Homo-oligomer: A and B are copies of this chain.
Amino acid sequence: MFVAKVTGSLVSTQKTDSLVGHKLLVVEPYRLESDQRQSLVSTGRTFIAVDALGAGEGDFVLITQGSSARMTPETQEAPVDTVIVGIVDQVRVDQHSVYSRGEE
């Protein structure tokens, strides 16, 4: 799994039946900034994830990929390889906080 920031959304009216009704969000994976190691920075990559938790723009979320993305009640048997499995409250590295929800 990895941490990503929700930065947008995607609309697709013409899609595979089993995707109808799923909210599709733009998520950008983040990694630890490697010099100071005190914050998270974007990796510059962009994925589309299914959201089953009501995540909103600006939220940091926990992403699961691959076949395991089908292991949530909402995504079972669906052609989905990226899903939001948690909304992140805090990430701590080297014993200090590098992300805390609502404190950016």
A residues neighboring B (CB under 8 Å): 1-3, 7-19, 24, 26, 28, 30-32, 34, 40, 42, 44-50, 52-53, 57, 62, 64-73, 77-83, 85-95, 98
**A10 and B68 in contact (CB under 8 A), knowing A15-B86, A45-B31?**
no
For this chain, the copies found in one complex come to: 5
21 contacts between A and B (CB under 8 A): A7-B32, A8-B95, A9-B92, A10-B62, A12-B86, A12-B88, A14-B86, A15-B85, A16-B52, A19-B86, A28-B32, A31-B44, A34-B42, A64-B79, A64-B80, A66-B67, A69-B79, A71-B77, A71-B78, A71-B79, A79-B83
